[in-house]
Structure 1
């Protein structure tokens, strides 16, 4: 067996209703002044209400920074760091979707003032120290609570990543009750996002290992078995918990066996057209899977056996079953299926393809090399 390393969040708590007792987790970290990082939607949905009540009970000072935007720009990070410093926060809680959790990671890292945001872009540029950090996902998709990466929108159409083990939180708290009110369209897009994480981790050309493989397979099993129920019967707590756990397992997988072509082509769609990350991945998934088939057929067949336990036939037939299943899934779940559905035209393809080629950190993981002409063809296919 080849040597490999595997890293993930130190403590993962899976418990419906656990957010109502989060202040006790803060006290266990020996902290007494918390900044909660979230977005306006979480506040409007009153998801924070029970958590906030627990801080009063445990005599923990709490402040809320709720200005997180999807695909957060640098200005959101800077404002959050300032909020943490003003509050004298000694603990940061990211409470929301991937954007809120990513912003919380960076605030926890930058609040000391020892480094600036531009200094930590890239891999292992962050030096610390980091404030204690708790992440609480309210969607089942990004797996950010178990990944050592945070994505920032820099400039008008570009994203950069901060990659460091320091971004792994002290605690990931998975409370499925927080996801019960998610609209079906959000559930579908974030669920497919998690599936993409599992698939790309399993087929990654770099750093794929037995642990990431096992997690990716079980993640896909949980997600495929529960996504329809979670979308159609949103109050089903068991389906919601399985989706949340599946997204977490997929996050652990791709945090160690990094994602590839789907994400590389999805990022420009999100950056240029402000399409949510999960939907961007969903729109590019089918074309990239078909493009990768010559190099990933055997691995796709193995994943098909997870989705269809009774599947039989050649690896080519089973691999195509997986591709067909994933290609049909967005339409079955009622979300956009074509780039034109989100306002993209043929005139945008050249710029999108050029932007995709900048995602070298992701492209090197794809099982088949994607060149500029390939990217343009894939966008045309998705149009």
Structure 2
């Protein structure tokens, strides 16, 4: 007998061409204030502009953090968290490649539980539920949109954790 199991997957996975158009409907289930994490390149595209407009048309207030860097330098997450605390988002939306999605995961974690990312290195360190996270991949390959882990670059360890 072959057993197959998947633990810690997202509750819902939408896939296929054009799924970004249902983002406002999905986001509206979680509240009316969204922190959107992406990189500068994607933030400058017409597609990103359309995504933000569609969220706003659905009465979702948006704060955009468009300074995600490749390989997620650890300390950049804290900058986003500091900027977003006053906004008090109901959800975090990561849009982009693996770094953008991992950045959004880390931001969600720190907004929900505080502390430093180093406090959460390792398995089963997250003490409880976090803010809702919506991951919108724009590339293929990392699978970050369906995994519960994030990879960041730690300058103290000079490696990715």
Question: What is the TM-score when the length of structure 2 is the normalising length?
Answer: 0.90
Report the Cα distance in structure 1 between the residues aligned to 2:3 and 2:90, rounded to whole angstroms: 38
Q: Residue 29 of structure 2 aligns with which residue?
A: 28
1:83 aligns with 2:69: no
Q: Residue 11 of structure 1 aligns with which residue?
A: 12
User: Does the 8 A contact of 1:34 with 1:93 survive in 2?
Assistant: yes
Q: Residue 59 of structure 1 aligns with which residue?
A: 59
SS of equivalent to 1:10 = coil
Q: Displacement, 1:105? A: 0.7
Q: Displacement, 1:81? A: 1.4
Correspondence list, 1:36-75, <5 A = 36-75=36-75
Unpaired stretches in structure 1, ≥5 consecutive residues: 161-383
Q: Displacement, 1:150? A: 0.3
Report the Cα distance in structure 2 between the residues aligned to 1:109 and 1:128, rounded to whole angstroms: 10
Which fold has the larger relative contact order, with Cα–Cα distance below 8 Å and residues 6 or more apart in sequence? 2
Report the Cα distance in structure 2 between the residues aligned to 1:114 and 1:52, rounded to whole angstroms: 27
User: Does the 8 A contact of 1:35 with 1:91 survive in 2?
Assistant: yes
Report the Cα distance in structure 2 between the residues aligned to 1:15 and 1:123, rounded to whole angstroms: 31
Number of positions where the alignment pairs a residue of Structure 1 with one of Structure 2: 159
Which structure has the larger Rg over C-alpha atoms?
1
1:144 aligns with 2:128: no
Q: Displacement, 1:148? A: 1.5
Q: Displacement, 1:128? A: 3.0
User: Does the 8 A contact of 2:37 with 2:95 survive in 1?
Assistant: yes
Report the Cα distance in structure 1 between the residues aligned to 2:129 and 2:32, rounded to whole angstroms: 18
RMSD of aligned C-alpha atoms? 1.8
Unpaired stretches in structure 2, ≥5 consecutive residues: none
Larger helix proportion of the pair? 1
Q: Displacement, 1:34? A: 0.2
Alignment deviations for residues 295-323 of structure 1 (CA, whole Å, 9 cap, x no partner):
xxxxxxxxxxxxxxxxxxxxxxxxxxxxx
Q: Displacement, 1:2? A: 6.7
Report the Cα distance in structure 2 between the residues aligned to 1:60 and 1:119, rounded to whole angstroms: 32
Q: Displacement, 1:114? A: 3.9
Q: Displacement, 1:21? A: 3.4
1:158 aligns with 2:159: yes
SS of equivalent to 1:112 = helix
User: Does the 8 A contact of 1:114 with 1:128 survive in 2?
Assistant: no
Runs (4+) of structure 1 exceeding 3 A deviation are: 1-5
Correspondence list, 1:150-189, <5 A = 150-155=150-155, 157-160=158-161
Alignment deviations for residues 231-281 of structure 1 (CA, whole Å, 9 cap, x no partner):
xxxxxxxxxxxxxxxxxxxxxxxxxxxxxxxxxxxxxxxxxxxxxxxxxxx
User: Does the 8 A contact of 1:68 with 1:100 survive in 2?
Assistant: yes
Report the Cα distance in structure 2 between the residues aligned to 1:79 and 1:113, rounded to whole angstroms: 16
